[in-house]
A and B are shown apart, each in its own frame.
Chain A
């Protein structure tokens, strides 16, 4: 084995509201990880709706008043987010923030928001009201009360940017796990693919299987990742349908997307989760090099054709290969 591939570094840190782990092989592995952490913090500084000086906070703060100048990268993410909102209207909406906030307050008081509040907030969720000006590089929201939330896409963007950092440091073998979003660079130093486990949606200490990937990303959206139980004992998860205003109930409880771009995979995992199996698979057909692992509420696992030879199932889990 070459000397440089034996130099390995790994780090775990907290950013973007989650735990991240990065591992890199190469001569500058150690330096690359420090740069990766800095890059994640930089992106969070642009996209977080919790940081008052971020581009997104400024856009949200000026909703209904004026457009705000944003960085090129923020503009790029917002454009992509609108693209995905258009790709499946009613499944994904970049302006979902007012709903998210409503459910967040509900979570604090362990009660589901009342139907009236949801009906009041729903008209504010409309990606067509996000005005992007490519000449001025500005973004603005048409109405007061509207707000952008990049929760379904921001970590995906960070994943893509991390790979660029690794490449700048001459790393040819690395992975990052951004709170469950996995991106990989190259294969392992011995040439074999990375094995990425897929979290079991109902048993915390289990996986349903693993997928072998190199230069690919694996992003999972599940109803088990963030949820709360209300006073009546009903569980409410965090993936909201912009159509109904309630947590999506499409029959799917977990969707993993395997593809090349992490931002796209992040958006698509949410989109398929909300759209459900039938519509989701139809959407997927138009996208090259994008595969999926879907789990329905009966814990039946469905895997698309392209993963037939790289998905390995755990004993006792039932799998159907599609197509």
Chain B
């Protein structure tokens, strides 16, 4: 009888653990899919150097951290401070950063003919600039 009870407890425990695991994994996927890049008003930035980090979802796969310099109300420099990319081989973020700098110095709202595919790097840039805004 006790044996059966133990077996039942173990099976129930595994079931619950599996259910929790699955729900967390699907939550991670949902988060990655719907990563919002919300408004930073580039016309309202205070000068200074700001740090921004994106935790990169539950398993930190896309975690990265950046430093954004604002001078005369414009973003003048963005540096990647830390990322999950071990050897720093991926240079995709540099192009994205350049695009952020260029986009706001030319004051464009959006770009026709460009297809942005990497949102995680932009997310950290944006997180850095949120506290830089004034009313």
A residues whose Cβ falls under 8 Å from a Cβ of B: 8-14, 18-19, 21, 23, 175, 177, 179-182, 188, 194-199, 201, 204-207, 210, 218-222, 225, 254, 256, 312, 314
Contact B114 A210 (CB under 8 A): no
- A180–B98 Cα gap in the complex (Å)? 18
Pull 26 A–B residue pairs with CB atoms less than 8 Å apart, ordered by A.
A10-B38, A13-B34, A14-B33, A21-B110, A175-B110, A180-B112, A180-B114, A181-B112, A196-B108, A196-B109, A197-B111, A197-B112, A198-B111, A198-B113, A199-B114, A204-B95, A205-B98, A206-B102, A207-B111, A210-B107, A210-B108, A219-B112, A220-B113, A222-B113, A254-B113, A314-B106
- Set B33, B37, B102, B115: member contacting A180, Cβ < 8 A: B115
How far, in angstroms, from A188 to B109 measured CA to CA in the complex?
10
Interface centre among A198, A205, A218 (most CB of B within 10 A): A205
Contact pick for A197, options B33, B37, B110, CB 8 Å: B110
A177 touches B95 (CB 8 A): no
Q: Are B108 and A197 in contact (CB under 8 A)?
A: yes
How many pairs of residues, A versus B, come closer than 8 Å at their CB atoms?
101
A207 to B101 alpha-carbon distance, docked (Å)? 12
* Interface size of B as a range: 20 to 34
Contact indicator A180/B106 (Cβ below 8 Å) = no
Known: A19-B116, A207-B102. A12 touches B37 (CB 8 A): yes
With A18-B115, A195-B108, A256-B112 as given contacts, are A8 and B39 in contact (CB-CB < 8 Å)? yes
| Chain B residues whose CB sits within 8 angstroms of the CB of A225 once the complex forms | 113, 115
Given contacts A225-B113, A256-B113, contact A12 B106 (CB under 8 A): no
B36 at the interface (CB under 8 A from A): yes
The CA of A123 and the CA of B98, in the complex, are separated in Å by: 46
Q: Which residues of B contact A180 (CB under 8 A)?
A: 111-115
- A195 and B119 form a contact (CB under 8 A): no
Q: Please state if B109 and A175 are interface contacts (CB–CB under 8 Å).
A: yes
Which residues on the A side are within 8 Å of B8 (C-beta)? Answer: none
| Docked-complex contact B115 and A195, CB < 8 angstroms | no
CB distance from B16 to the nearest CB of A (A): 32
Residue from B33, B94, B106 within 8 A of A207 (CB atoms) = B106
**Residues of chain B contacted by A199 (CB below 8 angstroms):** 111-114
In the complex, the answer to whether B110 meets A196 with C-beta atoms within 8 Å is: yes
Q: Is B35 a contact of A182 with CB atoms below 8 Å? A: no
In addition to A197-B108, A198-B112, 4 A-B residue pairs with Cβ atoms within 8 Å of each other are: A11-B38, A23-B39, A219-B112, A254-B113
Does B44 reach chain A (CB closer than 8 Å)?
A: no
